[in-house]
Chain A
Amino acid sequence: MILNYSQPLEISNLSAWLDTTLRSNLSEFWTLLIEFVLVGVLLLAAYAVIALVLIYVERKITAFFQARFGPNRVGQYGLLQSLADMIKILLKEIIHINKVDKFLFYAAPFFMVGASMMTFGAIAFGKGLQAVDFNIGVLYVTAVSSLGIIGVLLAGWSSNNKYSMIGAMRSGAQFVSYELSAGFALMTIVVLSGTMQFSEMIHKQEYCWNIFNGHISSIIAFFIYLISGHAETNRGPFDLPEAESELTAGYHTEYSGLQFGFFYLAEYLNMFIIASIATAVFLGGWMPIQIKGWEAFNQIMNYIPSYVWFFSKTGVLIFFSLWVRWSFPRLRIDQLLNLEWKYLLPINLVNLLVMVILVLTGLTLTDLFPSWF
């Protein structure tokens, strides 16, 4: 049993201990099997718990932006509200609709949840807390998160409802457009850090986060990523796929009970996933704030466990997304596509070029001030 006394609160201590005990008592096969099952169960549990917390936080912050109190009756400060809502949605009847394409209709929510679950596995929650760490992590995340749109399109198509169909098509157009921007923004940072693997990318940001390292270009990429991530998750001013005044509820109009719950869950988790990828790529992931040369300071910062750093950085980004959501009116579909194709995409392409020049001519902060960072 190897305990890391300098970082006593890290979960990786526990997992390392578990791994060594299992390996000393069981064969390779059983060790791996038990660990896989454990990781899967933990990820699923985290998925549900994070969604519950996010729903509570979202409702509370939304309320404060609108000069209300938000949920404050169930439990102290309404803390049990989302738990109660979860129980309610689990008990609700799933209404079976006659003229839907049965197979696709029932499969659609699983596409949504499956896609966001697969992305969820690639998130680095803390030191050693990452289930999937490919050497092409960024590519994997971009590819897998796009699968969610298949769920949306299937839901809209199979519902046999014009509102659902229009909502799904809008969502599709929006997603395809903004995926491009998000991909380019991530590519800009891949150019800067020279790797696509999340763990390596985070390690490289130990003393200088990517958002500072590439200064002007990184900041532009950061904001473009946030905007397009926002649009991809159908939230904030970009929620026109489910514009209730026009389309009742968009692609999930016909869904009820737990099936609707899946869409709801996936929507919240997608917000979290976008924020956590932005954290990993731009804000140093779970890395504590470290300054070269200040050993005592670094030591103190290291005492705060890495998952706390990760969740606080992600929390700031989620707060930012809520702030945007409750500040701006909903865009029209043509304004939405204008923003992407006339503004974000050209800026993004130029930005990528600028980043390449910065990296090649050695104008990034780590190149300019190697003794500081």
Chain B
Amino acid sequence: MSSVSQYFSGLFTGIRSLMKGMSVTWVELWTKKVTAQYPENRDTLVISDRFRCELTMPHDTNNEHACTACGICVMNCPNGTINIVSEMIETADGKKKKILKQYTYDLGMCTFCNLCVVTCPSNALKFENTFENAIFTRSKLVQTLNHEGSKLREKKKETPAPVAE
């Protein structure tokens, strides 16, 4: 190819490729924008169930939780996020028993690693996907997870498995 024809073919291929690029951006200009508009789309917002935002202690309708105050979560927590206050009581049949008095969780210290939930022997803890946790005072991040007046859920009497005859 001579240099003259090279000059002109280069010029025209250049122009054509520029036009092609502009047509792509032109199409992009009119495509529907999919950006999620957060505060407005609260009603339709879907957060995955597995998303870990806030530690909770599920209570049932009788205001009973499953925490035995064993302290395994406290030991497993890498940040010292959890603090458990327990007390010893004596049950009606004379046995000594440790019960939960206050379960404190500091959201500001939490790394959401899920170790407390994984290691809990009685499945008393759960991470919820309620993500709007921002507040203006740091002290409000420290939460008490057990509800007022709640108590340990009694274990159901284990019915012995029917023995095969």
Contacts and interface: CB of A to CB of B under 8 A. Distances in A.
B36 to A, nearest CB: 10
Contacts, number: 31
A69 B33 CA distance: 7
B11 interface: yes
Interface stretch (A28-36, A45-53, A82-90, A322-330): A322-330
A372 interface: no
A327 B33 contact: no
Given A328-B18, A343-B11, A68 B35 contact: yes
A324 B22 contact: yes
A69 B38 CA distance: 13
Contacts of A327: 18, 21-22, 24-25
Nearest to B14: A343
Contacts of A64: 29, 33
A68 B33 contact: yes
B26 interface: yes
A65 interface: yes
A67 B34 CA distance: 8
Interface string B16-33: 001001101110110101
Nearest to A346: B7
B127 to A, nearest CB: 31
Interface string A63-76: 01111110000000
A66 B29 CA distance: 7
B21 A69 contact: no
Contacts of B35: 67-69
A317 to B, nearest CB: 15
A323 B25 CA distance: 7
A66 to B, nearest CB: 8
Contacts of A61: 29
A170 to B, nearest CB: 22
Nearest to B24: A327
Contact of B29 (A65, A324, A343): A65
A323 B22 contact: yes
Contacts of A65: 25, 28-29
A323 B24 CA distance: 11
Contacts of B26: 323
In this complex, the member of B22, B24, B25, B35 whose beta carbon has the largest number of chain A beta carbons within 10 angstroms is B25
Contacts of B18: 327-328
Contact of A67 (B21, B24, B31, B37): B31
Interface string A322-355: 0110111000000000000001000000000000
Given A67-B28, A343-B11, A328 B33 contact: no
A323 B28 CA distance: 11
Contacts of B24: 327
Contacts of A67: 28, 31, 33-35
Contacts of B31: 67
29 contacts: A61-B29, A64-B29, A64-B33, A65-B25, A65-B28, A65-B29, A66-B28, A67-B28, A67-B31, A67-B33, A67-B35, A68-B33, A68-B35, A69-B33, A69-B35, A69-B37, A323-B22, A323-B25, A323-B26, A323-B29, A324-B22, A326-B25, A327-B18, A327-B21, A327-B22, A327-B25, A328-B18, A328-B21, A343-B11
Interface of B: 11, 18, 21-22, 24-26, 28-29, 31, 33-35, 37
Interface of A: 61, 64-69, 323-324, 326-328, 343
Which 5 A/B pairs are nearest by Cβ-Cβ distance? A327-B25, A327-B21, A327-B22, A64-B29, A69-B35
Given A61-B29, A66-B28, 11 more contacts: A64-B29, A64-B33, A65-B28, A65-B29, A67-B31, A67-B34, A68-B33, A69-B35, A326-B25, A327-B18, A328-B18
